[in-house]
């Protein structure tokens, strides 16, 4: 946790600094907005800015936004001025803290930013095997690839590996490759020099330099443009980076952890991911099973989230009823741990009585989860549709079209006329497509006749 305190506040922030450091934060000071920008550009970085309410908070927010620096701001002041607090919130601050600082309040703010929901909670044997492997390799500097569906807890596991590594006291820096536009991602990763492009008003240290000595998490790396992948490969191989517009290479000392919810071997075959980069990143693969394949974790996680959100909302931490446990255990949790967490958050708020009952286990729309379960046939069809959709992601239209045509032709036992009717194209178009595929060396189902089975298949 890196805290940047901006302003002086007549010495009151010295107390806040001590409280923050006692709670495990590393603290940097800046007297003004200009100094604060220099700190966040210069590689020290920050996970939270604690800013004197007397400074121009709106100006600081706009400066950060202009340079695509995303860090929350909490305002603080030595007077209980409601108008100043409201103005700070309107200017872009997330919260207002009165000074002198209350130790519990400071600790709560730091905990909220650090996000205690990142605790690693598990009981199922399937997850235990993954954790055991993670702990075995944590002490090395080997690159790690963490794979699994969205919401399974890939970043949580990455932080677990970092916390048990020799770099635990150094920065853990995360960047979501899917959330940053392609034209900005290179600058975010490698930094830039002043004047390197329009809007580059000062030198900016990138995530590689910010993470030097520690761990860099490349979240959803499969979404990175293939052209930028070559520059990333060089950085990993040679442990040097080039800032955008820079004249000389900059050495870095980092461990790389990458995550993906896609099959990168398929991406390599499709030409959207470099095979040599995959080899560099995939020294150790930690594959997190989906929540539906680790049933013993469901109730364990649910109880963890009950304690968390009960404390956050000032309500009792009620136990789960037997019916509620059955509802939770029977659900497929397509959104995995993230979906379960949101469901339990709602349940904590909606529950009445001494227990959390099945009537409090609700969908986002407010419907009872146990009353909207689909019939087995519908559930099977839904799952099949989801699997087909996932199989299409990342493929080209031409490849999908080719497979559809060839599978339809096979289904019709080679009968071109029936296949064309099913596909909704002319027989001439079909024959032209098949000729193209044959020229590429692809096996084509031999022409058949008007077999009655083909007619049945089209009915």
* Residue after which a domain boundary falls, among 253, 287, 321: 287
**Are 80 and 209 contained in the same domain?**
no
User: Are 244 and 307 contained in the same domain?
Assistant: no
Given 252, 271, 287, which residue is the final one in a domain? Answer: 287
Classify residue 300: in a domain, yes or no.
yes
Q: Is residue 326 part of a domain?
A: yes
Whether residue 295 sits in one domain with residue 283: no
Question: Any idea what the CATH number is for the domain that residue 328 is in?
Answer: 1.10.8.60
Virtual CA dihedral for 38, 44, 50, 51, nearest 10 degrees?
Answer: -10
What pairing do the DSSP bridges indicate for beta strands 240-241 and 250-251? antiparallel
277 and 142: one domain? yes
Paired residues of 368 in beta bridges: 362
Q: Give yes or no: residues 335 and 277 share one domain.
A: no
d(CA 261, CA 148) in angstroms, rounded, equals 5
Domain contains 385: no
Identify the helix (H) or strand (E) that includes residue 264: helix 264-269
Read off the CATH number of the domain in which 47 is found.
Answer: 3.40.50.2300
Instruction: Assess whether 142 and 276 both reside in one domain.
Output: yes
Q: What are the tens digits of pLDDT across the range 410-430?
A: 877 888 888 888 888 888 889
Q: What is the DSSP track for 206-239?
A: -HHHHTTTSEEEEETGGGS-HHHHHHHHHHHHHS
CB 161 within 8 A of CB 130: no
- Would 146 be classed as within a structural domain? yes
In a domain, 121, yes or no: no
Exposure of 42 in the CB half-sphere (CA atoms within 13 A):
10
Beta bridge partners of 5: 29, 50
Share in percent of the chain as helix, strand, coil (round to 5): 50, 15, 35
Q: How many domains does the chain have?
A: 4
Reported pTM: 0.65
At 284, list the tokens.
Answer: 């150790």
Residues 220-242: b if buried by 16+ CB within 10 A, e if exposed: bbbbbeeeebeebbebbeeeebb
Q: Do 414 and 320 share a structural domain?
A: no
Per-residue buried b or exposed e for 433-457, using 16+ beta carbons within 10 Å of the residue's own CB: bbeeeeeeeeeebeebeeeeebeee
Could you tell me which residues are beta bridge partners of residue 284?
Answer: 144
Of 287, 319, 337, which marks where a domain is finished? 287
Q: Do 280 and 141 lie in a common domain?
A: yes
Do residues 77 and 87 make contact, with C-beta atoms less than 8 angstroms apart?
Answer: no
CB 56 within 8 A of CB 13: no
Determine contact, residues 339/304, Cβ cutoff 8 Å: no
Same domain, yes or no, for 217 and 136?
yes
Question: In this predicted structure, what is the pLDDT of residue 202?
Answer: 81
Q: Residue 236's domain is classified under what CATH number?
A: 3.40.50.300
Determine, yes or no, domain membership for 343. yes
Question: Which range of residues forms the domain containing residue 254?
Answer: 128-287
Burial 353-374 (b: 16+ CB within 10 A, else e): eeebbbbbbbeeeeeebbeeee
Is residue 122 one of the residues assigned to a domain? no
3-state secondary structure at position 196: coil
295 shares its domain with 205: no
pLDDT for 261: 92
pLDDT tens digits along 142-164: 999 999 999 999 999 999 999 89
**10 — alpha (psi -120 to 50), left (phi > 0) or beta?**
left
Residue showing tokens 């305190």: 5
CATH of residue 441's domain is 1.10.10
Per-residue tens of pLDDT for the chain, all 459 residues: 788 888 876 666 667 777 777 766 788 888 899 989 888 887 677 888 888 888 899 999 988 887 777 788 888 887 666 788 888 888 888 888 887 766 677 766 766 665 544 568 889 999 999 999 999 999 999 999 999 999 999 999 999 999 899 998 888 999 999 888 877 898 889 988 887 777 777 888 889 998 999 999 999 999 998 889 999 999 999 999 988 888 788 999 999 999 999 999 999 999 999 999 999 999 999 999 999 999 999 999 999 999 988 988 888 899 999 999 999 999 999 999 999 999 999 999 999 889 999 999 999 888 999 887 544 544 554 555 555 555 565 678 888 889 889 988 887 788 888 888 888 888 888 988 998 888 888 888 887 544 433 333 333
Tokens describing residue 375 = 């019939």
Q: Within this chain, do residues 141 and 271 fall inside the same structural domain, yes or no?
A: yes
Shared domain for 274 and 299, answered yes or no, is no
Q: What is the pLDDT of residue 325?
A: 95
Residue 103 belongs to a domain? yes
């Amino acid at each position: 946790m890196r805290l940047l305190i901006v302003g002086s506040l007549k010495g009151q922030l010295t107390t806040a600094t001590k409280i923050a450091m006692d709670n495990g934060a590393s603290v940097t000071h800046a007297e003004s907005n200009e100094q604060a920008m220099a700190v966040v550009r210069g590689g020290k970085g920050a996970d939270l800015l604690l800013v004197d309410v007397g400074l121009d908070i709106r100006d600081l927010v706009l400066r950060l936004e202009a340079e695509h620096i995303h860090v929350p701001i909490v305002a603080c002041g030595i007077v209980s001025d409601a108008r100043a607090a409201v103005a700070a919130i309107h200017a872009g601050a997330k919260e207002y803290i009165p000074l002198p600082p209350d130790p519990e309040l400071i600790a709560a703010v730091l905990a909220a930013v650090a996000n205690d929901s990142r605790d690693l909670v598990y009981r199922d044997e399937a997850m235990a095997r993954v954790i055991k492997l993670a702990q075995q390799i944590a002490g090395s500097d080997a690159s790690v690839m963490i794979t699994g569906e969205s919401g399974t807890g890939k970043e949580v596991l990455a932080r677990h590996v970092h916390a048990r590594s020799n770099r635990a006291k150094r920065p853990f820096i995360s960047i979501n490759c899917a959330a940053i536009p392609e034209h900005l991602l290179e600058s975010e990763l490698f930094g830039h020099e002043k004047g390197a492009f329009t809007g580059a008003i000062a030198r900016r240290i990138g995530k590689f330099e910010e993470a030097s000595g520690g761990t860099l998490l490349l979240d959803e790396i499969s979404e990175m443009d293939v052209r930028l992948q070559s520059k990333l490969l060089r950085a990993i191989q040679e442990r040097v980076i080039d800032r955008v517009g820079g004249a000389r290479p900059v050495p870095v000392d980092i461990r790389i952890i990458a995550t993906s919810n896609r099959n990168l071997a398929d991406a390599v075959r499709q030409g959207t991911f470099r095979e040599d980069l995959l080899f560099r990143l995939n020294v150790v693969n930690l594959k997190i099973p989906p929540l539906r394949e680790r049933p013993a974790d469901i109730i364990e996680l649910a109880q963890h989230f009950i304690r968390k959100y009960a404390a956050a909302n000032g309500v009792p931490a009620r136990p789960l009823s037997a019916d509620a446990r059955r509802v939770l255990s029977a659900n497929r949790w397509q959104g995995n741990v993230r979906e379960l967490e949101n469901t339990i958050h709602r349940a904590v708020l909606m529950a009445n009585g001494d227990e959390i009952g099945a009537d409090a286990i609700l969908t986002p729309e407010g419907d009872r989860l146990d009353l909207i379960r689909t019939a087995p046939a519908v559930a099977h069809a839904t799952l099949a549709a989801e699997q087909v959709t996932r199989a299409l992601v990342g493929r080209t239209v031409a490849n999908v079209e080719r497979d559809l045509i060839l599978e339809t032709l096979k289904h019709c036992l080679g009968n071109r006329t029936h296949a064309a009717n099913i596909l909704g194209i002319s027989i001439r178009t079909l024959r032209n497509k098949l000729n193209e595929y044959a020229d590429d060396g692809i096996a084509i189902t031999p022409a058949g006749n008007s077999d009655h089975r083909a007619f049945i298949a089209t009915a």
